[in-house]
Amino acid sequence: MLLNAETSTLVLVDYQPRLLPALSGAERAVSQAVRLAQLAQLADVPILATEHYPAKLGETTPPLRPLCQQIVTKQSFDACADGLLEALPGQRDDIVIAGCETHVCMLQTAMGVLAGGYRAWIVTDACASRRPEDHALALGRLKAAGATLISAEMAGFEWLRHGDHPAFREALALIRPL
């Protein structure tokens, strides 16, 4: 099964300034998350973010915050417990998820999305944890639970579908620098 822009919503989990410095691969994860969000915008995919205790961990990192249409603040590790499912736009069952930490808030949020009856697509190259082992374990667990593992580039090309898409040249400009 391929992603479809008309049935997708992008959820960016806890890309917060006081959390990011402790994560292995944080700079790459943020860079990929920005690219992913820009591709989502080009494909008209709604973008939501979550913030865990923003008073303590800060708001969504500046490169991502302006790309998000809605922010869900939370205290639970699983954003679904604090209103994420209610914030999702209707008629969109493919929830594309990336975030921090892979093995804590991102994992628990993705599990909540699956439990809520949605399809979860995990953008692995836009996620980070403090320890690479935890990142790998979380991805294995999510795959076993029924989530589909993808990359930011895979999501972008699947959302656009073909080279005739009106935003293809803009999308290619985002992808080529890799």
For residue range 58-102, list pLDDT tens digits in order: 999 999 999 999 999 999 999 999 999 999 999 999 999 999 999
- Of 8, 15, 48, nearest to 33 (Cα)? 15
Topology of domain 5-175, CATH: Rossmann fold (3.40.50)
Contact 107, 133 (CB under 8 A): no
Q: Which residues face 49 on adjacent strands?
A: 12, 71
Annotated domain spans of the chain? 5-175
Q: What are φ and ψ of residue 104, in 5° steps? A: -120, -95
Q: Average pLDDT of 131-135?
A: 98
Q: CA 153, CA 158: separation in Å to the nearest integer?
A: 8
DSSP state of 100: B
* Position with higher pLDDT, 122 vs 169: 122
Band of residue 30 on the pLDDT scale cut at 50, 70, 90 = very high
Contact 12, 99 (CB under 8 A): yes
DSSP state of 117: T
pLDDT at residue 178, rounded to an integer: 57
Q: Average pLDDT of 111-125?
A: 98
pLDDT at residue 165, rounded to an integer: 82
